[in-house]
Amino acid sequence: MSGKDKQGKDSASNADSTGQAVENDSGTEEQDQALSDQPEVDGSEDLTGESGEAGSMDTRLEEALAEADKYRDVALRAEAEVQNVRRRAGLDVENAHRFALERFVNKLLPVVDSLEKALESVEQTDAVDETTRAIAEGVGLCQKMFVDVLEKEGVAVVDPVGEPFDPNLHQAMSMVENSDVEPSSVVAVIQRGYTLNKRLVRPAMVMVSKASEAKN
């Protein structure tokens, strides 16, 4: 091969390398241009979106909790109202039973009074034959049985002889001078009183002492 031919081949090879390099540089520039043309991803927009979504979820959670509290309050009020209704119903039944029993006891008390008066009349009689005494004993047993039954139902006798006068339990029928006891003391019971379950049914009719008036 002549020197000219070899020189020509080297020139051609150098030209090809130069062209390839130019093409590579051109391709790199095009890739850089393409990358620069792509829209930039703004990270702040993603954070803002996530923050907004989280805020919306918090708001919905707060609303749900507020709604739950409202229904809880409604349920508690309803339960309290039911308890009040039950309590009032129980009190109504109890009061009705108590009123019915009190009215029944009031109807029986005159019978007890009659038996007591019958016994007192026998005791105040000087001469009593055996027949009358036997009848009086029978009446006394009936009177005792009657009182025992009443006591089992919560009835108690108010017989306050010697006790201080109590206007809540006693009804003063008269006042008498009596220096043997303190003033305003019960010296005699005209008619015994009764209570039902510690509630006054009938006051005791009594005579009350008073201080003796000073004589000139």
Residue 163 belongs to domain with CATH number: 2.30.22.10
Q: Is residue 26 part of a domain?
A: no
Q: Is residue 188 part of a domain?
A: yes
Q: Is residue 27 part of a domain?
A: no
pLDDT for the residue numbered 67? 87
Q: Is residue 103 part of a domain?
A: no
Select from 177, 173, 180, 163 the least CA-distant residue to 209. Answer: 177
pLDDT for the residue numbered 4? 47
pLDDT for the residue numbered 94? 79
Of the given ranges (61-65, 151-155, 205-209), which has the lowest mean pLDDT?
61-65
pTM of the model as a whole:
0.56
Q: Is residue 75 part of a domain?
A: no
Count of domains observed in the chain: 1
The domain of 176 spans 155-215
pLDDT band at 42 (very low <50, low <70, confident <90, very high): low
Q: Is residue 5 part of a domain?
A: no
Residue pLDDT, tens place only, 170-207? 999 999 998 888 999 999 999 999 999 889 999 999 99
Q: What is the percentage of the chain residues whose pLDDT exceeds 70?
A: 74
Q: Is residue 204 part of a domain?
A: yes
Task: List % helix, strand, coil for the chain (3-state, nearest 5).
Answer: 65, 15, 20
- In 161-193, which positions are buried (b, 16+ CB within 10 angstroms) versus exposed (e)? eeeebeeebbeeeeeeebeeeeeebbbebebbb
Q: Is residue 55 part of a domain?
A: no
pLDDT at 41 over 60: no
